[in-house]
Amino acid sequence: MSTCSIAPDIDHDNPRQPMFFVVSINKLITMSLLTTGVYLFYWFYRNWAIYRAATGERVIPLLRAIIPVLFIYPLLKRIDQGFRQSGREFAWSPLNLALTMWMIVIISLASGAMTPEPIGQLQHDAPLHLRYLIESMLQLGATLWLVCCIQHVINAHEQDPQGRSNSEFTGANKGWMTLGVVIWVLYFSSVATLLLLAYL
């Protein structure tokens, strides 16, 4: 498990501006799963937006959130630089985490390329939709695991290891989760209906 050296004393009268997005792991997992993964794009956006506000670096957070796989390593390098600039150390590998993200994407693309196309026959297409569902959930789970690993590092960087400053669910959070649950229910229901029609 990653360990961080003892952080310097915090000046509570003049708290420093955060450089990255703090969130508790529990909230990150819940929001990501119940919004069908949409929260992960928001997570990338918030990290870049907060970093730009803290450093003044000319980056475009929305662009980097839309295609996060291209900017995952630059984000991790900046987190690592933040540790070094503050005189702290953290046992982790930005490159290994980035490689893991790229591997997840490559496997997902390869799996999609090898999946047969629907041909309009129910008994042929119904299992394909089940396969799409299972692969989507596996990809979401793998990506979420990776992002949780990164979040542990970010929370340590921001001296809030448990992410307590962003652990509660807001009204907007609950609204997005409700919408996501509806989408999941519709998705599961449609796949189940196709399977029932195909085999009953």
Q: Is 20 inside any structural domain?
A: no
179 pLDDT higher than 60: yes
For position 15, what pLDDT does the model report? 59
For position 14, what pLDDT does the model report? 46
Mean pLDDT of all residues in 114-125: 78
9 pLDDT higher than 70: no
Of 23 and 195, which is predicted with more confidence?
23
d(CA 75, CA 79): 6
Quote the tokens at residue 160. 């809030």
Q: Is 10 inside any structural domain?
A: no
For position 185, what pLDDT does the model report? 97
The predicted-structure confidence for 71-106, as pLDDT tens digits, reads as follows 999 999 999 999 999 898 899 999 999 999 999 999
Q: Is 83 inside any structural domain?
A: yes
Count up the domains in the chain and report the number. 1
Mean pLDDT of all residues in 115-131: 81
Mean pLDDT of all residues in 140-148: 98
State phi, psi for 120 to the nearest 5 degrees.
85, 5
196 pLDDT higher than 60: yes
Of 75 and 4, which is predicted with more confidence?
75
Q: Is 9 inside any structural domain?
A: no
d(CA 52, CA 64): 12
Mean pLDDT of all residues in 54-70: 96
Buried b (16+ CB within 10 A) or exposed e, 158-191: bbbeebeebeeeeeebeebbeebeeebeebeeeb
2 pLDDT higher than 50: no
Q: Is 125 inside any structural domain?
A: yes
Task: Confirm if 165 and 159 have CB atoms less than 8 A apart.
Answer: no
Task: Confirm if 100 and 146 have CB atoms less than 8 A apart.
Answer: yes
Residue 149's domain spans which residues? 25-199
d(CA 119, CA 123): 10
Q: Is 53 inside any structural domain?
A: yes
Residue 64's contacts (CB-CB under 8 Å, 6 or more residues apart) are 44, 45, 48, 70, 71, 75
Of 36 and 125, which is predicted with more confidence?
36
Task: Confirm if 65 and 37 have CB atoms less than 8 A apart.
Answer: no
Kindly report the average pLDDT of the chain as a whole number: 90
Q: Is 19 inside any structural domain?
A: no
| Alpha helices (H) along 86-121 | 94-114
CA atoms within 13 A on the CB side of 86: 23
Q: Which of 45-49, 109-113, 161-165, 174-178 has the lowest mean pLDDT?
A: 109-113
For position 200, what pLDDT does the model report? 76
